[in-house]
Amino acid sequence: MALQFYNTLTKRKEEFKSIEHGIVRMYTCGPTVYDYAHIGNFRTYIFEDLLRRYLKYKGYKVIQVMNITDVDDKTIRGARREGVSLGEYTARYKKAFFEDIDTLGIERAEYYPCATEHIPEMLAIIRKLVEKGVAYKADDGSIYFRVSSFPNYGMLSGKRIGELRPSGRVKADEYAKEEIYDFALWKAWDEDDGDVWWESEFGRGRPGWHIECSAMSMKYLGESFDIHTGGVDNIFPHHENEIAQSESATGKKFVNYWLHSAHLIVNGQKMSKSLGNFYTLRDIIQMGYSPLQIRYLLISTHYRMCLNFTFDGLKASSAALDRLAEFIHMLEHLSSDEVEDNPDIANIITQMKKDFEKNLDDDLNIAPAIGSIFESLTHLNIIIRTKGISRNDAKRVQGLFAKFDLVLGIVPKTELDDLEIARLVELRDIARKNKNYAEADKIRDELLRRGIIVEDTPKGTIWRKRI
Ligand code: AMP
Ligand code: ZN
């Protein structure tokens, strides 16, 4: 089966074909840096990471752009609340964002353009739209896109513009889903903007949110590119508006495949800042969960299904990771020159690879892809425990897991480096000093599982690698 994705634009699964052979150009709506990202945001970023990594696995060169929205209604409000400059305010959250994606093992995109550094590119598009008569200056001095000028408006979200006349104008970046409005491309400065403005031929002001993504995607990826992603909440109005303004400006198809991830939810509701039902990545790590556990939880549900976040789910992901770690550890330590290569193991390896690719080719169907890895792991375990495993076979199994892990990023590192060992030993010492023996034992067991033996001597704790 060829690689296929569900395309929000056509509402069906389609075979993926890139515009340029061997290269995928993709744009992912990035964070608005007004606060720490919550794990709902990371659900979407992890989906995009899986997509990127699988495209690379399939042999594509990926050129990915993720924008950083560092000027919009929310960032300006935040900076003003704290009485700091917009740049100072957003720098803090930009830095946190990059730290967080590293923590979760999210691969870096090729470009992270910031909105504030692309104002001329945005103005160039607005100029074109005004010249074509599809954008106009309203009484408030702002420039709006005339939605009724774009007959295909609604093709992504399914809204029927033919029947619904645009019901006015909206300057806000985010607005009610029920109504179709002419939306702001350039917002005339008002008092709420404080010292945030740019001079332009349209007067002093700042760009709307939607135009940011059109300008930055087309600058780095061209007027037509392969994939655009985001969470489902981006479909309307954000992505619908991106299509309308981009295609009106260029006269070309903007994007071929639109992929959207469903929400991470808590008690049936979308995790979001405005509902207050959110955890940042840092919150959860502080509670003692590992980045790998969080990554596993976020990646293991199909991206088009809602992911119900619970702490039980996080705990369950730790059990799965432990199984993987144990297996890999066993491979490293039980393989032997005395055992012959086993054709059953060779068959399992071939089948595992086939299953993995068959499932991920099918719109990144991750649950059966991971499921079949664990099923094969059970079979391999039985063979290894009863018949042992040759060094050669062990290497091939390890090689296969390493290949899968280029896509999943969930296989725990079994070989700790000396620094990590020292850190864990120190944490154990602290726990012992605090008479927290349960915690100290937990760390000792963790070290043991990773092949490190700790001994408490009158001179302090020493450790050695198990042979
Ligand atoms: P924002 O910073 O609000 O612009 O969101 C950044 C990305 O996170 C967008 O692609 C959103 O669609 C996505 N997102 C926001 N909340 C959630 C959620 N609860 N579950 C999944 N994705 C989300
Ligand atoms: Zn966007």
| Residue 237: cis peptide before it, omega within 30 degrees of 0 | yes
Q: How far apart (Å, rounded) are the C-alpha atoms in residues 181 and 195?
A: 28
Q: How far apart (Å, rounded) are the C-alpha atoms in residues 375 and 385?
A: 16
CA atoms within 13 A on the CB side of 41: 20
* Residue (of 281, 318, 277) closest to 297 by Cα position: 318
Query: Which amino acid type is present at position 440?
Result: A
Q: How far apart (Å, rounded) are the C-alpha atoms in residues 33 and 23?
A: 30
* Cβ neighbours, 10 Å, residue 427: 15
Query: Which amino acid type is present at position 373?
Result: I
* Cβ neighbours, 10 Å, residue 251: 8
* Coil/strand/helix, residue 67: coil
The Å distance, Cα 239 to ligand 2 centre, comes to 7
Q: How far apart (Å, rounded) are the C-alpha atoms in residues 219 and 123?
A: 13
Q: How far apart (Å, rounded) are the C-alpha atoms in residues 462 and 467?
A: 16
* Residue (of 87, 65, 88, 86) closest to 76 by Cα position: 86
The residue count of the chain comes to 467
The Å distance, Cα 303 to ligand 2 centre, comes to 18
Nearest CA to ligand 1 atom 6: 31
Query: What are residue 150's phi and psi, to 5 degrees?
Result: -115, 100
What is the block-wise mean pLDDT of the chain (467 residues), using blocks of 10 residues? 96 98 98 96 98 97 98 95 96 97 96 98 98 94 93 90 66 70 94 95 96 98 98 96 98 98 94 92 92 96 97 92 88 88 97 98 98 96 94 93 94 70 82 85 80 78 72
The H or E element containing residue 76 is: helix 73-82
The Å distance, Cα 236 to ligand 1 centre, comes to 13
- On whether the CB atoms of residues 188 and 182 are closer than 8 A, the answer is no
Determine the pLDDT at residue 467.
Answer: 53
* Residue (of 200, 207, 147, 135) closest to 171 by Cα position: 207
Looking from the CA of residue 262, the nearest atom of ligand 1 is 21
Nearest CA to ligand 1 atom 15: 41
Determine the pLDDT at residue 414.
Answer: 60
Q: How far apart (Å, rounded) are the C-alpha atoms in residues 425 and 4?
A: 47
* Coil/strand/helix, residue 275: coil
pTM of the full structure: 0.88
The Å distance, Cα 229 to ligand 2 centre, comes to 9
User: Strand pairing of 264-266 and 255-261?
Assistant: unpaired
* Residue (of 215, 239, 212, 210) closest to 227 by Cα position: 239
* Residue (of 289, 322, 294) closest to 412 by Cα position: 322
Nearest CA to ligand 1 atom 18: 40
The Å distance, Cα 30 to ligand 2 centre, comes to 7
Identify the residues whose C-beta falls under 6 Å from ligand 1.
Answer: 29, 31-32, 40-41, 43-44, 230-231, 233-234, 261, 263-264, 270-272
- How far from chain centre, in Å, is Cα 288? 22
Task: Give me the residue label for tokens 């892809």.
Answer: 369
